[in-house]
Amino acid sequence: MEYFLHILILVAIYVILATSLNLIAGYAGMLSIAHAALYGMGAYVAALMALKLHSPFLVNLLFAVLLTGGLGLLLGIPALRVRDDYFVVVTFGFQIIMFNVLNNWISFTGGPMGLAGVPQPSIFGWSISSRIDFLILGFCLGCLSIVICWRLGRSPFGRVLKALREDEVFAMAAGKNVAASKLVVFLTAASLAATAGVMYAYYVSFIDPTSFGFTESVLIISIVIVGGAGNLWGSVLGAVLLISLPELLRFVGLPGVFAANVRQILYGALLILFVMWRPQGLLGEYRFQKAEAKE
Amino acid sequence: MTWQLLVNGAVSASMYVLTGVGFAAIYSALRFFHFAHAAVVMTGAYVAFALFQPLGFPIWAAVAGGIVVSACIGCGMELVVYRPLRSKGAPSLVLLLASLGMYVVLQNVISMVFGDDAKSIRITEVKEGLNLLGARITPIQIVSIATGTVALIGTGTLLRFTRQGKAMKAMASDCELSVASGIDTTRVALFAFAVGSALAGVSGILIGIDAAVTPMMGMNVLLMGVIAVIVGGVRSIIGIAAAAVVLGMAQQFGAWYMGPEWQEAAAFAVLLVFLLFFPRGFSRIKEGKATV
């Protein structure tokens, strides 16, 4: 039962990550490999504040969201200048720099040893200690993320994002503020990724840079692609499938040392298979193809 | 000290050039970022390592084996994944996603087979290098620099004087026009993958002999190679070489003053500045098709 709850909590964290990345990649069509960097930023801000300042959970959450939102804006600025593949390279660079900072700034972030002993959170006297408590918290944050992304996606703003992804010049010609829309979507997605990071840091109570590296970004992208870019429920379904599927491997008697490798191979293989045979994912609509190239 | 840094910079530059030129050959023919190139670099190094140490083949056979397997893996990626994707009309972002997937799969397969610890292809015992104007340089480092130079000249000659090479250049400047003038672009693409991946294998093996073989080595060197390509210009081998030399030197001098752990982050900061402020600047990587 505890094990089952653990999987559900992880699913909740990845639902937040996938829905927020879907806003950037699926709705606005800007593929980013830096989502794990934003996730890590949220986790580290909360963990550092909890450990060094002993500030309460909600304050840490707020600061993590604000600071990561700022970082997201920083990531959004290049998106105003470079597009498509080049933007991917920029986010790649961003991801590598973030990982290096977490890994090398030993006096502040603990470097490869990570940060241990993040205290248990409490909200207005509700002390979150058992897995059930964490699941409730994760469920609330996950739902919050879905609602925010859903509202944004259905709003006029969401339609501007989709217009952006299909034909940026056309959106501009129609009088939409392309630059502002891009920045807002990065701000929102980064803030949401930060909540996932905070949740993760408090839940596992030990964080190190390897949880927020390049392969983690690829995992989040795989969830979005498998579920379907541009469809919110796709990301939820993708998170449920990709997080629970590797757990099934435990039951076929796979040696434990290879578990991490096999999981990653599974994610990579799913990514390849989906882009080859079902680029729109399970529920999606977008194939990373511009409108003018579709004929 | 300066001499020593210059020598070390030249050694790293030769690795970046080999990886970068291979990457550029594929990029210029097909216009997408083949991140799985990093896995090809790594495969070459691990195959050479496995043939040389546990299996006991002579070093020349191990090196040849590593290069051949690299070329085969690269061509395999093109045949099994990229070509079918292109024939479905997939845009470059989708090819990039597929390459990320292939990188993750191959990297994890290798780390399952060989483990995550650093391996080294030890040809000679470690000893003090030769003295060159006060700098120490090992024979292997001389071989690295020489191989880098020879491979550069070889690839340049291949592109300029052979039929396949000319076809590659034509494809790089305008793919549709090359189809119209009777160039078999699918075959040229495969050729680009073979040449590019063989170069990747060479650079992986050299890194393995000079330093160490690890599951992360491919991505590290590829990223530097990509920086050299973006800064130096995808069409110009000399440009890539110049950028790689500058990058190698900057890293060595930067490491001397800032500490080696910030090398990678510093290189990327330079790349970001380049992409943001000179997106077309020195590189012309974005110029795409000739305008009609």
Cβ atoms of B214 and B116 closer than 8 Å: yes
A84 vs A31: CA distance, rounded Å: 7
Q: Dihedral (C-alpha) A49, A53, A58, A60: value to the nearest 10 degrees?
A: -20
Chain A residue numbers touching B92 (CB-CB < 8 A): 84-85
Q: Please determine, for residue A194, whether its predicted confidence score (pLDDT) is greater than 90.
A: yes
Q: Is B131 exposed, middle or buried (0-12, 13-18, 19+ CB in 10 A)?
A: exposed
Report the pLDDT value the prediction gives residue B280, as an integer from 0 to 100: 56
- State the average pLDDT for chain A: 88
Distances, alpha carbon B206 to alpha carbons A37, B19, B141, in Å? 32, 11, 9
The model's pTM: 0.90
A183 vs A135: CA distance, rounded Å: 32
Cβ atoms of A68 and A190 closer than 8 Å: yes
Q: What is the mean pLDDT of each run of 10 residues along chain B (292 residues)?
A: 82 90 88 92 94 87 94 96 90 91 94 87 70 75 86 85 85 82 87 93 90 86 88 82 87 80 78 72 46 34
- Of the candidates B44, B95, B31, the residue with the CA atom closest to the CA atom of residue B222: B44
Asked if B275 and A215 come within 8 Å (Cβ–Cβ), the reply is no
Strand partners, A116: A206
> A218-270 pLDDT, tens per residue?
999 999 999 998 889 999 999 999 998 888 777 776 666 787 888 899 999 99
Cβ atoms of B265 and B251 closer than 8 Å: no
A172 vs A166: CA distance, rounded Å: 12
Report the pLDDT value the prediction gives residue B193, as an integer from 0 to 100: 94
Using DSSP's 3-state secondary structure scheme, residue B187 falls into helix
Nearest CA in chain A to B272: A90
Q: What is the ipTM, given to two decimal places?
A: 0.89
Report the pLDDT value the prediction gives residue B182, as an integer from 0 to 100: 83
Q: Please determine, for residue A76, whether its predicted confidence score (pLDDT) is greater than 50.
A: yes
Report the pLDDT value the prediction gives residue B128, as an integer from 0 to 100: 65
Confidence of residue A295 (pLDDT cuts 50, 70, 90): very low
> A1-20 pLDDT, tens per residue?
788 899 999 999 999 999 99
Confidence of residue A291 (pLDDT cuts 50, 70, 90): low
How far is the alpha carbon of B102 from chain A, nearest alpha carbon, in Å?
A: 6
Q: Which tokens is A287 given?
A: 């194939």
Report the pLDDT value the prediction gives residue B283, as an integer from 0 to 100: 45
Distances, alpha carbon A229 to alpha carbons A146, A150, A224, B126, in Å? 15, 14, 6, 52
Report the pLDDT value the prediction gives residue A121, as an integer from 0 to 100: 86
Domain residue ranges of chain A, discontinuous segments joined by +: 2-221
B109 lies within 8 A of chain A by CB: yes
Report the pLDDT value the prediction gives residue B36, as an integer from 0 to 100: 94
Domain residue ranges of chain B, discontinuous segments joined by +: 13-222
Chain A residue numbers touching B268 (CB-CB < 8 A): 93, 96-97
Chain B residue numbers touching A262 (CB-CB < 8 A): 108, 112
How far is the alpha carbon of B272 from chain A, nearest alpha carbon, in Å?
A: 6
